[in-house]
Amino acid sequence: MSGKFITFEGVDGAGKSTHLHGFVEALRARGVDVVLTREPGGTPLGEQLRELVLHQSMHMDTEAMLMFAARVEHIEQVIKPALARGAWVVSDRFSDASFAYQGGGRGMDIARLEALERWACGDFRPDLTLLFDIPVEVAKARLADAREPDKFEREQAGFFQRVRSAYLDRARQQPQRFAVIDAVQTLEQVRAQVQAVLDRL
């Protein structure tokens, strides 16, 4: 028996984290054994790497390699063992974030990211990815009242435009894996879209 691997993605401020918790609660209410995790992070070493990549400035290649290094630990120690025992794994971000932020945002060569992905993940991919899509100005306004911004959240609007486009490009290229959620709508309407995805599972 093996479980499902589901990831949540979107630009900062899209509201994915809010809906992720509701999604996990709804799965648990249906009796599913769910492991909720996040990237960068998800393991003790991964959380230390998260501290570094979110707060230190570094070369974009270093940043990408640390993201994938943390991902190796996450896949091997947490995700695959959980799936093997039949649990479902829901992760707040995964490799698509590297393609969107390091690829789109920072402009890193996609072929290099694909090479890192092959190295770190092999053929392992999410079964389903919910992409919370929102115009950058709306996301920025939502973030303005939130806590102290990290390194990424301090980036300019142009950076987030590129992140958003990179996410949407990936969703267009892999429509069978992605569910694009229109995150501009009210909390209730977005929740209904997420619920519809859950019902289809």
Residue numbers of the site for ligand TYD (CB under 6 A)? Answer: 12, 17, 39-40, 67, 92-93, 97-98, 101-102, 150, 152
Q: Is the peptide bond before 126 cis (omega within 30 degrees of 0)?
A: no
| SS3 state of residue 182 | strand
Nearer to ligand TYD, 88 or 117 (CB): 117
* CB 87 to ligand TYD: min, Å: 21
| SS3 state of residue 22 | helix
* CB 174 to ligand TYD: min, Å: 17
Nearer to ligand TYD, 74 or 83 (CB): 74
Nearer to ligand TYD, 16 or 27 (CB): 16
Question: Could you tell me the sign of the dihedral formed by the alpha carbons of 97, 116, 38, 200, in that order?
Answer: positive
* CB 103 to ligand TYD: min, Å: 9
- Hey, which bits of the chain come out as E strands? 5-10, 34-38, 88-92, 128-133, 178-182
Measured distance CA(179)–CA(200) in Å, rounded: 11
* CB 162 to ligand TYD: min, Å: 12
* CB 41 to ligand TYD: min, Å: 8
Helix (H), strand (E) counts: the chain = 9, 5
Measured distance CA(192)–CA(201) in Å, rounded: 14
Nearer to ligand TYD, 57 or 200 (CB): 57
Nearer to ligand TYD, 39 or 73 (CB): 39
